């Protein structure tokens, strides 16, 4: 069973810093069929339920041209997750792994990422498949899938740098 | 040429909210060969220069088991980027696209994502290839590449939900 908010046997928590280094804004809302962490998929699937992403103003104009892309990368804020665990036990069996070796929602900056299939757009609302987050998750960002995006800006020197060339 | 911080012809800026909705902490530092935006690659390459990611305490323990993965997803804070553009002109040619149809560093929440090849670990320091960010970029998160990660937590109901099944 997934975590509600408990710390499990052998897990390690640290003192979380009181001071933040930067701020994020919530630019939209994600709606999914899952209202409990005990129901969410562990991973999204591209044939999964159609979910909606609703952009808030003034960000709706930033959706222009988004339907050029079949798949999007979605970044969201895992608003219910604790942030202080460095070692976690996903199977709750006394064995642990480091947080950065897991895709658990519990992490120092609880930012989830997903690759979704764009099924359609109606104004401020996108229909997508491939999410696994809770209903009402706050949206942070949308980008074209990296494998579909070709840079529009002119070439830069770094484009041509390989490790060998630096010798 | 990439943007320093100007607004270009036909680009659209909005009033950025004064109030943040949540805070992020910088959990490490990324070092790359690029000290100017005018030099950075537009996209990272897996045969690119070896860069380093240094984790700050108390997060070093969260690296345990990370070398199980050949590729990682890296999230970082694009600390020099403006956040208020909804329409951008990457080619600076008077044509614009919506910010969410671009992978530009200029976005309401300036979070960059990269898939990197893990070339090695020495204590708090990871060596990676595939980044395209500036030297001294703050680190937000590390996760196993989604295509390499198999959930450890037991199955959940949502794992089996397809769109068809929901009819």
The string of pLDDT tens digits covering residues A31-44 is 999 999 999 999 99
Res. A5 pLDDT band, cuts 50 70 90? confident
Q: What is the predicted pLDDT for the residue at A80?
A: 94
For residue A126, is it within any domain?
A: yes
Mean pLDDT of B55-71: 98
The string of pLDDT tens digits covering residues B105-117 is 999 999 999 999 9
List the single residue in B21, B48, B98 with the smallest CB-CB distance to A24: B21
- Helix, coil or strand: residue A60: helix
Mean pLDDT of B4-28: 95
For residue B6, is it within any domain?
A: no
> In percent, how much of chain A has pLDDT > 90?
94
Mean pLDDT of A109-134: 98
For residue B67, is it within any domain?
A: yes
A25 touches chain B (CB under 8 A): yes
For residue A5, is it within any domain?
A: no
Pick from A76, A71, A68, A34: which is nearest to A51 by CA? Answer: A34
- Chain A residues with beta carbon closer than 8 angstroms to that of B58: 14-15, 86
Q: What is the predicted pLDDT for the residue at B5?
A: 85
| Dihedral sign, Cα of residue B115, residue A131, residue B63, residue A90 | negative
Q: Does residue B167 carry a pLDDT above 80? A: no
Q: Does residue A167 carry a pLDDT above 70? A: no
For residue A7, is it within any domain?
A: no
> In this structure, what CATH number is given to the domain that contains residue A142?
2.40.30.70
For residue B88, is it within any domain?
A: yes
For residue A6, is it within any domain?
A: no
Contact between B17 and A40 using a beta-carbon 8 Å cutoff: no
Residue numbers of the domain that contains B141? 12-166
Domains identified in chain B, total number: 1
Q: What is the predicted pLDDT for the residue at A164?
A: 83
Q: Does residue A66 carry a pLDDT above 80? A: yes
What ipTM does the predicted assembly reach?
A: 0.96
For residue A142, is it within any domain?
A: yes
């Amino acid at each position: 069973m997934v975590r509600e908010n408990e710390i499990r046997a052998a897990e390690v928590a640290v003192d979380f810093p009181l001071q933040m280094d930067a701020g994020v804004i919530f630019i939209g809302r994600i709606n999914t069929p899952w209202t409990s962490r005990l129901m969410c998929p562990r991973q999204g699937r591209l044939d999964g339920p159609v979910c909606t992403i609703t952009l808030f103003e003034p960000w709706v104009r930033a959706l222009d041209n988004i339907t050029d892309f079949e798949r999007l990368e979605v970044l969201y804020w895992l608003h219910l997750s604790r942030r202080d665990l460095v070692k976690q036990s996903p199977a709750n069996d006394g064995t642990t792994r480091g947080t950065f070796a897991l895709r658990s929602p519990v992490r120092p900056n609880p930012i989830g990422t997903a690759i979704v299939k764009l099924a359609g757009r109606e104004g401020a609302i996108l229909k997508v498949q491939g999410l696994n987050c809770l209903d009402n998750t706050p949206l942070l960002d949308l980008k074209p899938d990296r494998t579909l995006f070709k840079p529009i800006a002119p070439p830069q020197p770094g484009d041509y740098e390989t490790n060998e060339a630096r010798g």
